[in-house]
């Protein structure tokens, strides 16, 4: 196990653990990405998205790009949420303008019965990248590891690709709940093992992305997504070398389930822009920190408008001196002007300091 440099800026970790901070920390989902010209330059030499994600040198390079450019309070591993099903042998590939697809989705009962956790070593490229990124961050900011949620992974594994309606997996869910639970059990254990290995490799916080939990009916969400995220959280290492490792769960479109999500044992819940931080804070009390929730579309507006909307989000959260990590409510768009991010980050830091001194 390598020795890492001491952390200089732990604001993000303290906010997640509901310890006082001098200002509200901020990072962006998909902050290492196509909106940055330096990312596009690395892509040009590294080839495909997975070409970068599977090459620890290139993954390190792009993970650090937004940290070099903006005073962000956390870095996040450059990777894909679908590395686990790929390592299960489903054959991940990316089709231009269509998003990720699997060559061998789970179509039949036999496919489901044959499903196994990833083989040992098959995800080592991820853990190697984590260690290298943490080393090169050199203590500037904490490094976040992540995974897709058991349900969200299952959506891609059964549908074979993204979907708007999720008819294929919902047909399985309602028609063969036994098969659905089998997949989700394997996924939950695999996600926990994967996140724990990222923690061993150097991740200082972990996040579970439940991108498609919001497509489920009330009742089905609790049974087929939330239950398995709770399983993952219960299996996570929450401390490493005496330092706490906070866990964040984020169900896109799940704000109306915030109380239930806040109860599964994670340190923080992510929220999209449809949620009202003030109402959610009142509902969940001090149980968890909140992460979010600016509409990424605001980054297409003028600097004045961006600042005004940042102030609205911070004011909605209110005058607490901890428990809020500023973020977008979803990944940043590839068409975002990079200057907008600078405006947003500065506005978060400045206004949250003002709120604390008021």
Tell me which residues touch its own copies (CB under 8 A).
Answer: 165-167, 170-171, 174-175, 214, 216-221, 253, 255-256, 273-276, 294-298, 300-302, 305, 309, 312, 316, 329, 333, 335
Question: Closer CB to its own copies, residue 14 or residue 281?
Answer: 281
Question: Closer CB to its own copies, residue 128 or residue 256?
Answer: 256
Closest separation in Å from C-beta 202 to its own copies? 34
Locus of tokens 């605001």: 298
Beta bridge partners of 147: 208
Question: Closer CB to its own copies, residue 6 or residue 335?
Answer: 335
Closest separation in Å from C-beta 237 to its own copies? 32
Residues 107, 281: Cα–Cα separation, whole Å: 42
Closest separation in Å from C-beta 306 to its own copies? 8
Residue 356 bears catalytic tag: no
Catalytic-labelled residue, pool 14, 18, 30, 307: 30
Residue 174 bears catalytic tag: no
Catalytic-labelled residue, pool 23, 39, 70, 156: 156
Residue 164 bears catalytic tag: no
Closest separation in Å from C-beta 18 to its own copies? 23
Question: Closer CB to its own copies, residue 122 or residue 163?
Answer: 163
Q: Is the dihedral of CA 162, 164, 167, 172 positive or negative?
A: positive
Closest separation in Å from C-beta 245 to its own copies? 31
Closest separation in Å from C-beta 95 to its own copies? 17
CB 203 within 8 A of CB 242: no
Residue 241 bears catalytic tag: no
Question: Closer CB to its own copies, residue 154 or residue 275?
Answer: 275
**Apex CA 335: angle with CA 329 and CA 337, to 5°?**
90
Q: What are the backbone angles phi and psi of residue 201, rounded to the nearest 5°?
A: -80, -10
Catalytic-labelled residue, pool 14, 23, 39, 80: 80
Question: Closer CB to its own copies, residue 169 or residue 266?
Answer: 169
Candidates 347, 265, 252; CA nearest to 293 is 252
The residues annotated with a catalytic role in the active site are 30, 34, 43, 80, 156
């Amino acid at each position: 196990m390598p020795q890492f440099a001491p952390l200089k800026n732990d604001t993000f970790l303290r906010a997640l653990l509901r310890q006082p901070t001098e200002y509200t920390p901020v990072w962006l989902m998909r902050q290492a990405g196509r909106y940055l010209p330096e990312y596009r330059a690395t892509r040009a030499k590294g080839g495909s998205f997975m070409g970068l994600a599977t090459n620890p040198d290139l993954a390190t390079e792009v993970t650090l790009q937004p940290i070099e450019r903006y005073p962000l309070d956390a870095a996040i591993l450059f990777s894909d949420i679908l590395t686990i099903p790929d390592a299960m042998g489903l054959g991940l590939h990316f089709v231009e303008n269509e998003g990720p697809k699997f060559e061998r989705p789970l179509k039949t009962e036999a496919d489901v019965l044959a499903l196994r956790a990833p083989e040992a070593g098959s995800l080592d490229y991820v853990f190697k990248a984590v260690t290298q990124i943490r080393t090169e961050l050199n203590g500037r900011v904490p490094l976040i590891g992540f995974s897709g949620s058991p349900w969200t992974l299952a959506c891609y594994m059964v549908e074979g690709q993204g979907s708007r309606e999720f008819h294929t997996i919902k047909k399985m869910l309602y028609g063969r709940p036994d098969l659905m639970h089998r997949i989700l059990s394997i996924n939950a254990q695999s996600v926990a093992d994967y996140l724990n290995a990222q923690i061993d490799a150097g991740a200082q916080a972990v996040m579970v992305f439940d991108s498609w939990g919001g497509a489920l009916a009330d009742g089905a969400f609790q049974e087929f997504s939330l239950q398995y995220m709770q399983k993952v959280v219960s299996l996570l290492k929450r401390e490493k070398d005496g330092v706490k490792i906070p866990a964040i769960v984020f169900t896109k479109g799940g704000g109306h389930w915030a109380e239930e999500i806040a109860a599964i044992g994670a340190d923080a819940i992510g929220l999209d822009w449809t949620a009202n931080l003030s109402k959610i804070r009142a509902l969940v009390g001090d149980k968890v920190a909140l992460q979010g929730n600016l509409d990424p579309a605001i980054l297409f507006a003028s600097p004045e408008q961006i600042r005004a909307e940042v102030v609205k989000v911070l004011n909605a959260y209110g005058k607490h001196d901890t428990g809020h990590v500023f973020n977008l409510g979803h990944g940043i768009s590839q068409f975002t002007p990079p200057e907008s991010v600078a405006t947003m980050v500065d506005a978060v830091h400045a206004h949250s300091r003002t709120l604390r001194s008021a």
